[in-house]
């Protein structure tokens, strides 16, 4: 059993990007699916597909690369962990590289990017940052 499935997902994506893989497969969870949807909305991955049934469900994330094969995800880093959570109000949400990257935030309305959270005036737990 994993103690931090989000950190596991982030590590799998980081390793797949480093290896120039087209896709990465991992066990399914709702939090992972929502994180993949945020990354897709922000243009960091192509799509995410849920496969299998019941306890054997998997989540496959199809990674995205530039026209010359350059990495779209340069870095992806976990912020909160199960032992140390970071919560911020809407006015305290950090900007990554002056707005070139995103921070994924767990809010009362689900997982949102920092731009979406600011537009909806929501704060929450800082999950990870991507650039």
Count of the separate structural domains present in the chain: 1
State the pTM of this model.
Answer: 0.95
Distances (CA, A) of 51 to 11, 48, 82, 112: 21, 10, 27, 24
Evaluate if residue 72 carries a pLDDT over 80: yes
Evaluate if residue 39 carries a pLDDT over 80: yes
For residue 1, the model assigns a pLDDT of 60
Arithmetic mean of pLDDT, 80-100: 97
The C-alpha atoms of residue 86 and residue 38 are separated, in whole angstroms, by 19
Arithmetic mean of pLDDT, 89-116: 97
Range of the domain at 24: 5-130
Structure tokens at 39: 């990354």
Computed over every residue of the chain, the mean pLDDT equals 97
């Amino acid at each position: 059993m994993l103690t931090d499935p989000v950190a596991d997902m982030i590590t799998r994506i980081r390793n797949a990007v480093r290896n120039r893989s087209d896709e990465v497969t991992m066990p399914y969870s709702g939090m992972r699916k929502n994180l993949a949807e945020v990354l897709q909305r922000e243009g960091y991955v192509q799509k995410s597909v849920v496969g299998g049934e019941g306890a054997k469900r998997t989540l496959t994330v199809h990674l995205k690369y530039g026209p010359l094969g350059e990495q779209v995800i340069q870095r992806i880093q976990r912020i909160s962990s199960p032992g140390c959570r970071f919560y911020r109000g809407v006015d305290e949400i950090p900007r990554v590289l002056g707005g070139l990257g995103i921070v994924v935030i767990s809010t009362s309305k689900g997982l949102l990017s920092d731009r979406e959270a600011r537009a909806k005036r929501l704060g929450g737990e800082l999950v990870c940052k991507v650039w």
